[in-house]
Amino acid sequence: MVQIAARAAAFAALLAAPPAVVLAADRPVTIVAFGDSLTAGNGLLAKDAFPAKLERTLKAKGVAVAITNAGVSGDTASTGLARLSWSVPAGTEAAIVELGANDMLRGVDPAVTRKALEQIVQRLTERKVVVLLAGMRAAPNLGPDYGGAFESIYTDLAANYDLLLYPFFLEGVAREARLNQRDGIHPTVGGIDVIVAGILPKAEELVARVKTKRGR
């Protein structure tokens, strides 16, 4: 009888523990991949797009995440800003922001791109969303002045807002014919694998920042 009473008391104590406290550290980190066609997975199956492959890779390493694909083909930084509030919903803990490639391809004034990206970053940080900024490089034919003004957007924002930065989203993929589709712009399945492998350490750091924030 004494043993039964002791077990019952222990079980009652367990039930009384706040479940949110017990489970908070283990629940998946909610991440939105917010970008253009490079995020959306233009020309690929949904399972082969960057967000889905990154989620599977992280889970295979024992990192609990839930990544939403909020990529829209053709988006510039400005059109991304216009849909930010509903593309990155309440409850999102982290965002991978990948925008600017279409601005560059269209020759948009870097000042316009900078302003829009900064507003995106400001709004997300105000909402306590942890940000990983994925940078982009300018095509050489746009000239050194344009290239310098464009590429500095990402390094400046990362420094000014203490963001995680992956300097070039297409690192190891750009201008590699075997890793790009026929348009020479959008990665193949193999190209996405290269991107995921490259950005993975930053994605793990993103998750770590979220978990640190949870514990405050």
Mean pLDDT value across residues 189-194: 98
Both structure tokens of 141: 């034919």
Catalytic residue at 37?
yes
Residue in 36, 37, 75, 103 annotated catalytic: 37
For the question of residue 183 being annotated catalytic, the response is: yes
- Whether 109 is a known active-site residue: answer no
Give the separation between CA 160 and CA 21, rounded to whole angstroms. 33
CATH class for the domain made up of 27-214? alpha beta
Residue range 55-73, pLDDT digits in tens:
999 999 999 999 999 999 9
- Mean pLDDT of the 128-150 span: 97
Domain boundaries, the chain: 27-214
Higher-confidence residue of 13 and 133: namely 133
Helix (H) or strand (E) holding 112: helix 110-126
Query: For residues 18 and 108, what is the distance between their CA atoms, to the nearest angstrom?
Result: 52
The pair phi, psi for residue 129, each rounded to 5°, is -85, 125
Contact assessment for residue 194 and residue 179, using Cβ atoms and an 8 Å cutoff: yes
Q: Choosing from 73, 78, 183, 193, which is the catalytic residue?
A: 183
Q: What is the pTM of this model?
A: 0.88
